[in-house]
Amino acid sequence: MNQPRLLKGRPVVIEKREEIKAQIATLKQKGITPHLKIFRIEGQKACQSYSRAAQKVMQAVGGIASEDLFPADVTEAEFLKAVAQRCDEKDIHGIIIMQPLPPHIDRQKVADLLPPLKDVDGMTTLNLGRVTENNDKAMFPSTARAVMEILDHYAIDVRGLDVCVIGKSTSVGKPLILLLMNRDATVISCHKATRQLKKYTKTADVIISATGVVDLITKDHLKPGAIVIDVGYNMKDDKIVGDVSFDEVATAASVITPVPGGVGSVTTTALVEQVVRGCTLQMEECK
């Protein structure tokens, strides 16, 4: 039975957090402590959990994290006003908007308020454009960045490889496609409207699935020895699972990420890393 290389998130997190601690210590010597502001609207348990995790990580590396919480019936005008006020505060270096937002609040209107270098989850149109251009000032969605961090840590070079990305959300799929293309991967984009998914996955060297659909990827979807990165998150039989039918796919893959303990475990660290990076870039602009 094939024993694939397991790409766990924990080693990535340990390495990155030590780097972040050192960067924050340097910033503190200059009188600046990176501050992450989280905007959250009540009603989403997953958002609450992520916010708590982000605050815990930020504080663990020596930064500051705080949350502005709003009732589910907050008006769009009230929410936009609150975000705009925080954007102007000089001691706030990173802002993340917990998503999804309720239907009565326009995501694009919120994104348009964020200064690009404080947009630490890559929500703005400008940051997506900067990712497209491979610009040094680009701020990335945290989950997409976490995928790249895992690939880097385990020295997986995607240059010249055929990579099939399943999912085209603005928070994961689309920016991830751009990040992979920036590294000279040949990227195939699949999504819910794709016909004959196996037609594309079976020829791919790397499969990255980010849909939240349980057991979407089975052994029959990949060629032997493929690299499988599972970005999905859902529940099955009261257990956290991803898009990949892990036990089955692991018999054919050469490399695979677990769920939990894979990409998701790196995401909050990637977010905090963005806050420190944004803080540093803001300092440089003020010189």
User: Rounded to 5 degrees, what are φ and ψ at 235?
Assistant: -120, 140
pTM tops 0.85 = yes
Same domain, 61 and 169: no
The answer to the question of residue 36 being in a domain is yes
The predicted pLDDT at position 285 comes to 85
Report if residue 276 sits inside a domain: no
On whether both 186 and 257 belong to a single domain, the answer is yes
| pLDDT (average), residues 120-145 | 96
* pLDDT at residue 226 in the model: 98
For 176-234, what is each residue's pLDDT tens digit?
Answer: 999 999 999 999 999 999 999 999 999 999 999 999 999 999 999 999 999 999 999 99
Q: Is residue 11 part of a domain?
A: no
Q: Up-side HSE of residue 211: CA atoms within 13 Å toward CB? A: 20
Domain span including residue 239: 142-263
Question: What residues contact 161, with CB distance under 8 A and at least 6 apart?
Answer: 185, 186, 205, 206
Q: What is the mean pLDDT of the chain?
A: 96
Residues 158 and 188 sit within 8 Å (Cβ to Cβ): no
Q: Is residue 159 part of a domain?
A: yes
- On whether both 62 and 161 belong to a single domain, the answer is no
* The pLDDT of residue 4: 87
| Residue 74 belongs to some domain of the structure | yes
What pLDDT does 57 receive? Answer: 97
| Cα 219 from Cα 224, distance rounded (Å) | 9
pLDDT digits (tens, 9 = 90+) for 33-44: 999 999 999 998
For the chain, first and last CA: distance in Å?
A: 59
Closest by Cα among 270, 279, 271 to 27: 279
Q: Would you say residue 133 lies in a domain?
A: no
In a domain, 273, yes or no: no
pLDDT tens digits along 153-163: 999 999 999 99
Q: How many domains does the chain have?
A: 2
Query: In this structure, are 218 and 153 located in the same domain?
Result: yes
Q: Residue 286: what pLDDT?
A: 80
For residues 158 and 234, state if they share a domain: yes
CATH number of the domain that residue 83 is part of: 3.40.50.10860
155 plus 194 within the same structural domain:
yes
Assess whether 53 and 105 both reside in one domain: yes
Please report, as a single letter, which amino acid is at residue 101.
L
**CATH code: domain of residue 187:** 3.40.50.720
Last residue of a domain, one of 75, 100, 116: 116
- pLDDT tens, residue by residue, 51-75: 999 999 999 999 999 999 999 999 9
pLDDT value of position 190:
98
What is the predicted pLDDT for the residue at 1?
Answer: 52
Say if CB 10 and CB 269 are below 8 A apart.
Answer: no
**Residue 97 pLDDT level (bands cut at 50, 70, 90):** very high
Percent of the chain predicted with pLDDT > 90: 95
Q: Does 14 fall in a domain?
A: no
Clarify whether residues 158 and 225 are in a common domain. yes
